[in-house]
Structure 1
């Protein structure tokens, strides 16, 4: 899946589109090197599971792909858009962070409505809440939800937006067995709609049900799992 480290990055060929392409990406934060020569291709519409211990750099790598962090060295593209063109990248990508990234003073419905306005797209908020079993919590503020309910709401947002590239950080955390089954179902649904997934998880047996190809970050370096 990954090209040789340091290979040049060219525009995706029409017959083999890629959702994500990184070439020799390094990231240094202060004196610490977080990512080391990361090179990877994620084909459009497919899924990759990203494994690694705490502190290995999984969340950081997702933030680099989402253009929230700029690489110290190297280059990358998301659906052909250069990572340095953050505005274009953010229009085709959605990051679901481990803390859900919700607005605590907005209700469940308001959070989803706001996400739709940000991306300038229509969507059925009521159906999305029902899809994750939160139809009865539409008017509740997020700050009053349990961790599991917040995770479900974040999943509803990702499902509602269905961005072509969706990055998911620890989707199974704070969920019971029913919640984890729902995660798998929703992520499979997204893949069925042509969404490429990059999933950082500590539960490889669950994540690989959706994204069977696995890569592991060790010491900031990406290797085949």
Structure 2
């Protein structure tokens, strides 16, 4: 097994400055392929920023990194293997749930059972409703269905338990657990470590942009 196979993420002294202030400060970390990581930290600590760096949506100011064996600066190759589920779900509001999932599959050029994914999250009855007319909890379920359907090798999830009741949180744990069972590497930013660590047991903490083992 090569180093590229053994690690999903390798970052070395990664800094990111937005404006005058550094948001990430010298982040160095290895995440093994198939590992589950919970990312902890207060609001503004840099969790979302780090997820966006791993998704190649933001380029580091300095430092080096590899994701799934590809240099972070090779954005196209990185993005093919990564799925980022943002806290706002990142859905297209004028498309229906079915259309959102079908579009995601087309983007990644892969087949998938859209009706089955909607049933899995209990949204079969709202399959043809525009996303803008769904509740916050329903949008979260739809975003989870998309992540579950795509099952990218590295899945990044920002606050998956927000806007969900107990049943919804249990569903999150089931779906993320199924992704782990399929060999997906998970990085979950969450304010509920007791929940997140059930599927992503390794804990890392960001404190003012500095990443440490929790």
Unaligned segments of structure 2, at least 5 residues: none
Asked whether 1:68 is paired with 2:57, we answer: yes
Provide the rounded CA distance (Å) in 1 between the counterparts of 2:77 and 2:178: 25
Counterpart of 1:188 in structure 2 is 177
Q: Residue 184 of structure 1: SS of its match in structure 2?
A: helix
Selected match of 1:96 from 85, 88, 96 = 85
Q: Secondary structure at the match of 1:54?
A: coil
Q: What is residue 160 of structure 2 aligned with on the other side?
A: 171
Q: Which residue number corresponds to residue 210 of structure 2?
A: 221
Moved over 4 A (4+): none
Q: 1:160: which partner in 2?
A: 149
The TM-score normalised by the length of structure 1 is 0.94
Which structure 1 segments of 5+ residues have no match? 1-10
RMSD: 1.1
Q: Distance in 1 between matches of 2:29 and 2:211?
A: 8
Instruction: Kindly state the Cα deviation for residue 224 of structure 1 after the two structures are TM-superposed.
Output: 1.2
Q: 1:13 aligned to 3, 10, 20, which one?
A: 3
Distance 2:62 2:36 in 1: 25
C-alpha distance 12-76 of structure 1, shift in aligned 2 (>3 A): farther
2:67 corresponds to 1:78 = yes
| Matches of 1:47 and 1:212, distance apart in 2 | 6
**Corresponding residue for 1:111?**
100
User: Secondary structure of the equivalent of 2:156?
Assistant: strand
For 1:69, what is the secondary structure of its paired residue? coil
User: Whole-Å Cα distance in 1 between the matches of residues 8 and 173 of structure 2?
Assistant: 20
Question: 1:18-57 CA deviation, whole Å, 9 max, x = no partner?
Answer: 1111110000011011000000111101110000000000
Match of 1:51 among 40, 59, 66: 40
How far apart are residue 13 of structure 1 and its match?
2.3
